[in-house]
């Protein structure tokens, strides 16, 4: 996606015209209000390390967002951590401006382009030599997914999850990694950066170096930001665009990955 995606609140055909008026107003007012930064407050999930750290102003996505907004006349306000459903409700009721990692089909909200893409993959201990080359192969192994993984990983995986006799989902992603290394499960499905982060966190609990195989069975998952106000969405979207045109975007990604990756040996 390259542009903001607009969803109509009703069947009214006035939305495109209203959006045009908002855009014109924004362009007219921008020179006048340029000296006054607009404060935008965000909400997101409370369990997505290393992308955000609760009660700390850091994390990969936090730093990307902060850097993006710094390129424009927008100031990063508070980040409220909540469950996915509550976070969405806070924005729809206009108590908070925008939600980070919004569903792509959030009715009534205005999506920006993706700030970052997540990459969910399958991980297993290499010594077990599991034959996993397709989603269908997951039917043959004991498996742990992240919470609601069956609703995020496509229709093929959803059908497998419904009938898999040895598949569970857990909310605590650190526990997923521990279950793998303690050999309580054959394979786990997790976002790659999240796996690397928790792998580094539990390194002292693992007696000896363990080789892990990573299999990419799922496509990248764009992480959108959605706002209740189209003007705010335009500002945030433009800020993300400007950041992606600089070297700083890749620098932040590389710096974050170096801080917790490289502990485990991964095979693609």
pLDDT digits (tens, 9 = 90+) for 212-227: 999 999 999 999 999 9
* More confident of the two residues 83 and 120: 120
168 has a pLDDT exceeding 60: yes
Structure confidence at residue 172 (pLDDT): 87
Mean pLDDT of 104-129: 93
Structure confidence at residue 12 (pLDDT): 30
202 has a pLDDT exceeding 90: no
- Judged by average pLDDT, the poorest of 6-20, 31-45, 63-77, 189-203 is 6-20
1 has a pLDDT exceeding 80: no
Confidence of residue 83 (pLDDT cuts 50, 70, 90): confident
* More confident of the two residues 226 and 33: 226
- Judged by average pLDDT, the poorest of 64-78, 121-135, 156-170, 254-268 is 254-268
Q: What is the rounded distance in angstroms from the CA atom of residue 95 to the CA atom of residue 28?
A: 27
* Cis previous bond, 54, omega within 30: no
27 has a pLDDT exceeding 70: no
Structure confidence at residue 54 (pLDDT): 81
19 has a pLDDT exceeding 60: no
pTM of the model: 0.76
**Contact predicate 127/211, CB 8 Å:** yes
Mean pLDDT of 231-259: 92
Percent of the chain with pLDDT over 70: 82
> Quick one: which of 5, 3, 85 has its CA closest to 44?
85
As a whole number, the mean pLDDT across the chain is 83
């Amino acid at each position: 996606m390259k542009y903001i995606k607009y969803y109509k609140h009703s069947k009214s055909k006035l939305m495109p015209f209203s959006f045009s008026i908002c855009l014109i107003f924004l362009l007219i007012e921008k020179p006048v209000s340029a000296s006054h930064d607009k404060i935008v407050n965000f909400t997101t999930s409370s369990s997505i390390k290393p992308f955000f750290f609760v009660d700390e102003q850091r994390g990969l996505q936090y730093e990307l967002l902060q850097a993006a907004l710094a390129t424009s006349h927008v100031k990063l306000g508070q980040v409220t951590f909540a469950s996915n459903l509550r976070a969405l409700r806070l924005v729809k009721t206009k108590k908070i401006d925008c939600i980070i990692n919004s569903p792509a089909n959030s009715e009534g909200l205005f999506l920006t382009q993706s700030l970052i893409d997540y990459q969910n993959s399958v991980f297993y201990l290499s010594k077990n030599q599991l034959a996993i080359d397709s989603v269908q192969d997951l039917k043959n192994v004991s498996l742990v997914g992240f919470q609601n993984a069956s609703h995020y990983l496509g229709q093929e995986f959803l059908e497998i999850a419904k009938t898999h006799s040895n598949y569970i989902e857990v909310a605590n992603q650190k526990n997923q990694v521990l279950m793998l290394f303690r050999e309580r499960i054959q394979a786990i499905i997790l976002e790659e950066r999240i796996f690397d982060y928790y792998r580094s966190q539990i390194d002292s609990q693992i007696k000896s170096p363990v080789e892990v195989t990573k299999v990419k069975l799922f496509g990248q998952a764009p992480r959108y930001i959605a706002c209740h106000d189209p003007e705010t969405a335009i500002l945030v979207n433009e800020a993300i665009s400007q950041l992606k045109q600089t070297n700083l975007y890749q620098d932040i990604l590389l710096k974050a990955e170096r801080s917790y990756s490289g502990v485990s040996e991964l095979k693609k």
